[in-house]
Amino acid sequence: MRLWRRRSTPAATGPRPLNLLAVWVAGIGWRGGEYEVVVVDEQGHAMVGPTVFGGRRVGELVRVLLDHAARRGGALCCVVDSTNGTLDGHLMAAGLAVYRADPWVLPDRPPHGSVPARVLAATDPARLTRLRPETGSLGGRDADYRAAVAACAAAEGELARSGRWLVRGSGTRPEIALTFDDGPHPVFTPLVLDILARYRIRATFFCVGLCAIAYPELVARIATEGHAIGNHTWSHPYLPDLTRDEVVRQVEATGQVLGAVAGTAPVMMRPPYGSRTPAVLRWLADRDLTTVLFDVDARDWTTPGTDAIVAAVTSAAAPGSIVLMHDAGGDRTQTVGALPRIVEALLGRGLRFVTVDRIG
């Protein structure tokens, strides 16, 4: 087993401020609707786990890791893989050091899950990438991401002509669509819904399956209050890393959970991070899903401050805009604080708020 022992210079994949000779490592995997955690010491001996946490116990999972970080004076590294984009924001918001293991450094995954947590905890540290709030889950893979997106232009045009691709409305009517990704979350989603109800406006929520299966009552509230629901995959993976069968399983499992609560499975799908390849777009269209992106990014996931979130949206929004915000995936206190100011500013311009499926 590879241990966290390193005597050479830090890897090029990211700065490593910790003394890796004394660090403990937490591998965090997922399978189905649960997360698996293993904490190993500097000798590779398991100190915790494997311990399984259901989706409603994410707060407990974070507290367990914080407790072990405190015992080691902060020397705890949390390792996730690129199929698990649901936890890293929460872990970083709690002050934990988070690293990503990419597919080429790991063994094959099971059909609907990550590699086991113990494998993640034992991965060579030189082959991991340090994640930071300002760069997000895809830190270090920007060039890959841009190349994959650039290759999609022809496929996007073809899908747009068939009504299976949407970035913004036509702009011919004074309408705008607010969208919220990554939820539902037990704290932030209700706060967002309360604000929307106060202003009597509708939005679109692109839900993650792991969160929806944990909080079906929040999915039900979203639907009952007249908001639209979209598919945001099961575990928020970077889709170009997945096979066709994995992509299909991600969207179908999520659609089943959302459909069981809302009555019908969503026909709108937003790929995590906007990640895509021509093949991924075809696979989604083959499932009769319309891929929905956005033309205004609040960048609230970077937690830049409430004023910055308000400015990002109000300076770029125009008739037909689809606005990307988040109700989960990390601490969304700033998003909740910015939302009333955004709504009032856009209402003041005479814009009407509609769900994505109704934008003109």
Polymer length in residues for the chain? 360
pTM: 0.92
**The domain spanning residue 268 has which CATH number?**
3.20.20.370
SS3 of 32-43: the string is CCEEEEEEECCC
Judge whether 56 lies within some domain: yes
**The domain spanning residue 88 has which CATH number?**
3.30.420
Is residue 214 domain-shared with residue 247, that is, in the same domain? yes
Q: What pLDDT shows up at residue 22?
A: 62
Judge whether 117 lies within some domain: yes
Judge whether 18 lies within some domain: no
Cis status, amide bond into 50, omega within 30 of 0: yes
Q: What pLDDT shows up at residue 43?
A: 81
Q: What pLDDT shows up at residue 9?
A: 31
Is residue 157 domain-shared with residue 303, that is, in the same domain? yes
Q: What pLDDT shows up at residue 47?
A: 81
Q: What's the domain count of the chain?
A: 2
Non-local (6+) Cβ contacts of 102 within 8 A are 81, 82, 127, 129, 141, 241
Is residue 194 domain-shared with residue 57, that is, in the same domain? no
Say which of 68, 227, 236, 326 is annotated catalytic. Answer: 326
Is residue 153 domain-shared with residue 110, that is, in the same domain? no
Is residue 190 domain-shared with residue 110, that is, in the same domain? no
End residue of a domain, out of 84, 104, 131 = 131
Is residue 154 domain-shared with residue 126, that is, in the same domain? no
Say which of 81, 88, 102, 181 is annotated catalytic. Answer: 181
Is residue 153 domain-shared with residue 222, that is, in the same domain? yes
CA-to-CA separations, 125 to 71, 98, 99, in angstroms, rounded: 21, 12, 9
Q: What pLDDT shows up at residue 10?
A: 33
Judge whether 237 lies within some domain: yes
End residue of a domain, out of 131, 159, 176 = 131
Judge whether 16 lies within some domain: no
Judge whether 15 lies within some domain: no
Is residue 199 domain-shared with residue 124, that is, in the same domain? no
Is residue 148 domain-shared with residue 211, that is, in the same domain? yes
Its domain, for residue 194, covers 142-358
Provide the residue-wise pLDDT of the chain in tens; the chain has 360 residues. Answer: 233 333 233 333 444 444 444 689 999 999 999 999 999 988 888 887 789 999 999 999 999 999 999 887 778 999 999 999 999 999 999 999 999 999 999 999 998 999 999 999 999 888 999 999 999 999 999 999 999 999 999 999 999 999 999 999 999 999 999 999 999 999 999 999 999 999 999 999 999 999 999 999 999 999 999 999 999 999 999 999 999 999 999 999 999 999 999 999 999 999 999 999 999 999 999 999 999 999 999 999 999 999 999 999 999 999 999 999 999 999 999 999 999 999 999 999 999 999 999 998
Q: Which amino acid is at 1?
A: M
Q: What pLDDT shows up at residue 318?
A: 97
Judge whether 221 lies within some domain: yes
Is residue 346 domain-shared with residue 292, that is, in the same domain? yes
Is residue 126 domain-shared with residue 194, that is, in the same domain? no
- CB-based contacts of 246-250 (< 8 A; 24+ apart in sequence): 246/83, 246/109, 246/111, 246/112, 247/280, 247/283, 247/284, 248/283, 248/287, 249/111, 249/112, 250/209
Q: Is-catalytic flag, 245?
A: no
Q: Is-catalytic flag, 326?
A: yes
Judge whether 6 lies within some domain: no
End residue of a domain, out of 74, 101, 131 = 131
Is residue 59 domain-shared with residue 204, that is, in the same domain? no
